[in-house]
Structure 1
């Protein structure tokens, strides 16, 4: 029972990180109807900014305190992501209002490659390290319940807690603030929101800024775990199956979908992988997403669209 629970906890912690990235997709799609293929590139760009600022601040300012350096680097990276969000909305999306969905998708693909190239130009293409002080040594949990306890990596545990806190804060933001209610109104009906004086362009900038902040938090966590490298954008694309499972318009779906995929890929790799030669963790999420597209394309919690003639 102990090994099974260790795998289960590991899957839940990884799934929470997937959910955090998937929230960026869902937020933008709900508010603007754009499937933001650039979310993975935004995670990479944010992580690069954080890593490089953490190097440059002590070098050029003389500040040596690592906590102060990380806070300043995070704040600087957040400002950069707000600038990225504003630029995407003003220079790209505002000029493509009422265009076909495929046009908007291709636009976000273009933004993806632009951000990857710009990140390499501004910050370099080496593998960078992000050290925010999260401990990497393992700990034992529930030692009184199971013999020997459950072995859990501290960094994974802290990362999952941070991701869970972010998800909770976003939920409160949407439910309890005036801006959050305006975002939900825009998501429900653009024209109705405009008719009561909600400015769509401002809302879209806010949504992209929030998605940029989510990308920054996710980039810092993944960068701390894996190092900041250009393959980080591919890790972020694991959130695509998450939004397919949960539904493109559902925030709870993004959370549950991430947990399902995180647990499913870990359990399948350990228990089914040896029978099939391994590697299941790489493709499990995409096969599961394909099955959902075949039998329930709106996802577990997405809205089923019915066209009436």
Structure 2
């Protein structure tokens, strides 16, 4: 009688840490979409595409106009160039499919987890009890604005030992107030499920209070022994030089300028600002119109190019040799 031949089954090597973080983030997104009180009832299991849905959604998104910026542009030609550039980049983003945005977002997260020193688990574990905590500033993406998904990065940041994670709350100005300055606060969170709720523009933002009723720690007013180690931020259009064009609200420009002054007053090193961008958002040098109130970033991260260092501060954010 003949024996049935058996083929040895190759053992799969354990997944790298950043792959495990991406998997955990996908599971969290599926949970958030299905369990959210804002989600549409469905009997179907979430598809791979649904796992990349926004944390929270809103049918109404307030329009952000250039007049809300920190300082109104005095140059009509510059204002016109900004308007044209924003329209062109928004059209390019609108042309991206959900699958393309999901793929690029996953690649960007992989680059960051592998190349940014703040996500190095060995360095985090080696921080002694006397060292100050690692402080990370991140944003919760808005899928309706077609921002790079930060789900995996938030999961990874909250899993780091001795780390403080801060995410923004946008305070929309009163439309009746003339030249109301843009306001954005970074509040500390420890849990994606418990500490966030849908607010401005349908984005999940931190609740104002902790479970015990105490105010949630504010990065700029809460007493700390050091600054952010890195700030991950969105934008609309970028150059490899670090030039950044936002959506016109001036929220990040105002925060960066304000926090820079705070760091200078305290004798701290200003944290590197690292922008996350789809490939369509990277323009040729000289194509991004910027004014005196527009703040550059120190590094860019894209799916195609990985971490692009723009300044010496950006080099500090990357692991040595990256």
What TM-score, normalized by structure 1, do the two folds share?
0.24
The higher-RCO structure (CA 8 Å, 6+ apart) is: 1
> Comparing both structures, which one devotes a greater share of its residues to helix?
1
Q: Which has the higher strand share?
A: 2
